C-alpha cells in the first residue's frame, strides 16, 4: 500500500514537472534585427530601441528589450508601421541583470516592439568640436543591429568610425549610422566619434533682428518713390500748362514756364493767381496723382505686412508663428525644453520657432518663454513629434 502511494506521488510530481517546465524555462522570442537610435543633445537625451521578429514568428510572442541601466522609461509598445498615434502601448516588466535594464512584454498585433527611455547626455564638448559616445548591449543573439546617433543641422564628422555613414533626414539633420552583424548575447556595441557643428553667434542673432525691420524700410522707400513721382508729374503738368498759355498769346507765359521748370514745382502767374481756371489741366490731374500715390504705398505696405506677419510674433512672454497648415493639423504636442548654456530664449526664441518652417503639416507653434516649453499643432499623417524635436534640436539652442 505504501509503495503504491509513493508511486502515485512520484507520477504526480513528474507530470507537474513536464507541464510546468516549458513555462518556467521558456525563453523570449529572438529578434531578427534591432535598431537603436540615440537623439538629442544637452542634459536630456532619448534612446529608442526597436526590435523586429522574423517573418515566421507567431503572435502572441514574448519579447525583451535591453536598455542602459537606470534609464527612465518613457514608452513601450508595438509598432504597427502607420501613424505614431495608432501604435498601441503595452505594459512592460523590468528586470536588471548583467548591468542593463531588460523590459519584457508580449507582442499581440505586430512583429515590431519598441522601448523609449531617457538617458544621460551622450554628447560632450571636445575643444572646438563635440564628442559622442553611444553603447548598447544585447541580451540574446541578434542577426543585425543598426546603431543611429542623431547629429544637429550642419554637423560634420571629424573622427569617422570605420563602416559608419551619414544619412540625411528631413529638416536638414542627419544620423551617423553603423550596422553590426551577428551580435552575440552580452556583446557590447557602440559608436564613439567626434563632430563639428555650427553655433549660433551674436552676429547671426543680430542679422535675424535686423531682418524684422526690412518691411518698414520697404514702406519708407515706397513712400519716397511716390513723393518723387508726384513731384515729377506736377512739374510735367506745369510745363504743359505753360506751353498751352504761350500758344494762346500770353506774353508772360514764357517766364511762368521757366519758373516752373527752374524748381517751383507748380506753374504760377501773378496776374492769374486768383483765377480758378488758370491751370485747368493741373487741377484735373492732381486727384489722379494722389490716388496713384496712395495705391502704390498701400500695395507695398500690404506686401511688407504679409511678409512680416508670416514670421514669429512676440507678445506677453509667448513667441508664436502660423505655418499655413492649420487646416491639416489634427493633433498637438507640448514639448518641454532644456535651454542650452548661454542661450536666452527671449532673444533667440524666434529662431527656434522658425526652425519648424521646413516640416510639412505644421499648423502653428507657440513658444512659452517663461515656462520653457513649445506647443506645436501638426498633422500626424505627414509629420511626427520626432521630426519636430529634430528640427528644434538642430538649432543648438535647446534639448529635451
Model's pTM, two decimal places? 0.50
Give the span between the Cα atoms of 133 and 351, in whole angstroms.
Answer: 28
**Is residue 238 located within the same domain as residue 360?**
no
Q: What is the domain extent for residue 372?
A: 313-399
Whether residue 109 sits in one domain with residue 76: yes
56 and 79 belong to one structural domain: yes
- In eight-state DSSP terms, residue 271 is G
Q: Are 373 and 334 in contact (CB under 8 A)?
A: yes
Conformational region of residue 154, where left means phi above 0, alpha means psi within -120 to 50, and beta covers everything else? left
Please check whether residue 371 is in contact with residue 316, taking contact to mean a CB–CB distance below 8 angstroms. Answer: no
Query: What's the CA dihedral at 63, 69, 72, 75 to 10 degrees?
Result: -10
Residue 205 lies in a domain: no
Examine the domain organization and report whether 48 and 183 are in the same domain. Answer: yes
Which pLDDT tens digit goes with each residue over 93-136?
Answer: 999 998 899 999 999 999 999 999 999 889 888 888 999 999 99
What pLDDT score was predicted for residue 283? 45
Contact yes or no for 346/319 (Cβ under 8 A): no
- Residues 171, 37, single domain; the answer is yes
Q: Which of 285, 309, 333 is the last residue of a domain?
A: 309
pLDDT recorded at residue 18: 45
Whether 253 and 375 share a structural domain? no
- Rounded Cα distance, 192 and 159, in Å: 9
Task: Return d(Cα 193, Cα 165) in angstroms, integer.
Answer: 12
| pLDDT per residue as tens digits for the range 33-64 | 999 999 875 456 899 999 999 998 999 999 99
Residues 44 and 122 in one domain: yes
Average pLDDT of the chain is 76
Answer whether residue 22 is part of any domain.
no
Asked which of 261, 278, 309 is the last residue of a domain, the reply is 309
Domain of 344, CATH number, reads 3.30.70.100
Number of structural domains found in the chain: 3
Q: Are residues 269 and 361 in the same domain?
A: no
Same domain, 96 and 240: no
Amino acid at each position: 500500500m505504501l509503495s503504491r502511494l509513493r508511486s502515485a506521488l512520484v507520477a504526480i510530481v513528474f507530470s507537474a514537472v513536464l507541464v510546468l517546465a516549458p513555462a518556467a524555462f521558456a525563453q523570449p522570442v529572438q529578434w531578427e534585427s534591432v535598431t537603436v537610435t540615440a537623439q538629442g543633445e544637452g542634459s536630456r537625451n532619448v534612446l529608442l530601441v526597436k526590435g523586429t521578429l522574423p517573418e515566421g514568428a507567431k503572435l502572441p510572442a514574448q519579447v525583451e528589450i535591453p536598455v542602459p541601466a537606470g534609464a527612465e522609461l518613457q514608452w513601450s509598445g508595438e509598432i504597427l508601421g502607420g501613424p505614431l498615434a495608432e501604435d498601441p502601448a503595452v505594459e512592460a516588466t523590468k528586470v536588471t541583470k548583467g548591468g542593463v535594464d531588460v523590459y519584457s512584454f508580449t507582442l499581440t498585433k505586430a512583429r515590431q516592439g519598441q522601448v523609449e527611455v531617457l538617458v544621460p547626455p551622450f554628447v560632450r564638448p571636445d575643444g572646438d568640436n563635440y564628442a559622442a559616445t553611444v553603447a548598447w548591449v544585447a541580451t540574446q543573439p541578434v542577426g543585425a543591429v543598426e546603431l543611429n546617433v542623431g547629429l544637429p543641422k550642419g554637423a560634420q564628422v571629424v573622427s569617422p568610425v570605420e563602416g559608419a555613414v551619414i544619412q540625411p533626414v528631413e529638416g536638414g539633420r542627419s544620423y551617423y549610422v553603423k550596422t553590426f552583424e551577428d551580435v552575440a548575447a552580452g556583446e557590447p556595441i557602440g559608436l564613439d566619434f567626434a563632430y563639428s557643428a555650427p553655433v549660433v553667434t551674436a552676429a547671426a542673432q543680430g542679422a535675424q533682428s535686423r531682418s524684422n525691420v526690412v518691411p518698414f524700410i520697404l514702406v519708407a522707400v515706397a513712400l519716397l518713390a511716390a513723393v518723387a513721382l508726384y513731384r515729377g508729374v506736377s512739374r510735367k503738368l506745369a510745363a504743359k500748362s505753360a506751353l498751352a498759355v504761350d500758344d494762346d498769346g500770353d506774353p508772360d507765359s514764357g517766364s511762368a514756364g521757366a519758373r516752373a521748370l527752374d524748381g517751383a514745382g507748380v506753374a504760377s502767374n501773378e496776374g492769374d493767381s486768383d483765377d480758378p481756371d488758370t491751370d485747368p489741366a493741373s487741377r484735373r490731374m492732381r486727384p489722379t496723382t494722389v490716388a496713384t500715390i496712395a495705391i502704390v504705398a498701400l500695395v507695398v505696405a500690404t506686401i511688407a505686412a504679409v511678409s512680416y506677419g508670416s514670421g514669429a510674433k512676440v507678445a506677453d512672454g509667448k513667441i508664436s508663428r502660423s505655418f499655413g497648415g492649420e487646416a491639416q493639423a489634427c493633433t498637438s504636442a507640448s514639448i518641454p525644453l532644456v535651454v542650452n548654456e548661454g542661450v536666452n530664449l527671449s532673444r533667440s526664441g524666434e529662431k527656434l520657432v522658425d526652425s519648424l518652417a521646413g516640416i510639412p503639416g505644421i499648423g502653428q507653434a507657440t513658444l512659452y518663454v517663461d515656462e520653457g516649453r513649445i506647443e506645436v499643432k501638426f498633422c500626424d499623417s505627414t509629420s511626427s513629434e520626432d521630426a519636430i524635436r529634430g528640427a528644434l534640436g538642430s538649432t543648438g539652442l535647446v534639448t529635451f
